[in-house]
């Protein structure tokens, strides 16, 4: 079963000049084409395929674990970066916004 969130996925646009367009063509910008047709054809191929799905589930995956020594030495640095940089960026933006707002409306 394939579930798509929008029925427009399989609809074709219709213009007065050219009639029905191919699946995925934007009627306002015909040079740009969405991949609706490819998605639909791949989905139908998947549903009609005779190859068993279990073969794809039995693939061997190699997990590449992180270097535990490097993780231990750089843990604090990355925690500070992940915590301080976003907060610092928000504070910097807020101060700049407030400064320019005060300059604009101070008169």
CA 39 – CA 8 distance, rounded (Å):
13
Q: What is the pLDDT of residue 93?
A: 97
Backbone angles phi, psi at 33, to 5 degrees: -125, 130
pLDDT profile of the chain (107 residues), mean per 10: 76 77 75 78 80 66 89 94 96 97 88
Q: What are the CA-CA distances from residue 29 to residues 14, 22, 36, 43 (Å)?
A: 13, 13, 16, 26
Q: What is the pLDDT of residue 53?
A: 59
Q: What is the pLDDT of residue 24?
A: 74
- Three-class DSSP category at 31: coil
Distance in angstroms between the alpha carbons of the first and the last residue of the chain: 64
Q: What is the pLDDT of residue 29?
A: 76
């Amino acid at each position: 079963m394939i579930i798509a969130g929008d029925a427009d996925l399989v609809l074709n646009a219709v213009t007065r000049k050219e009639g029905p367009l191919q699946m995925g063509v934007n009627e306002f910008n015909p040079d740009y084409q969405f991949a609706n047709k490819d998605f639909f054809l791949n989905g139908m191929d998947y549903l009609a395929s005779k190859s068993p799905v279990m073969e794809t589930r039995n693939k061997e995956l190699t997990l590449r674990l992180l270097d535990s020594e490097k993780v231990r030495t750089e843990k604090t640095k990355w925690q500070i970066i992940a915590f301080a940089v976003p907060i610092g960026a928000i504070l910097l933006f807020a101060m700049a916004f407030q400064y320019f707002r005060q300059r604009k409306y101070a008169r």
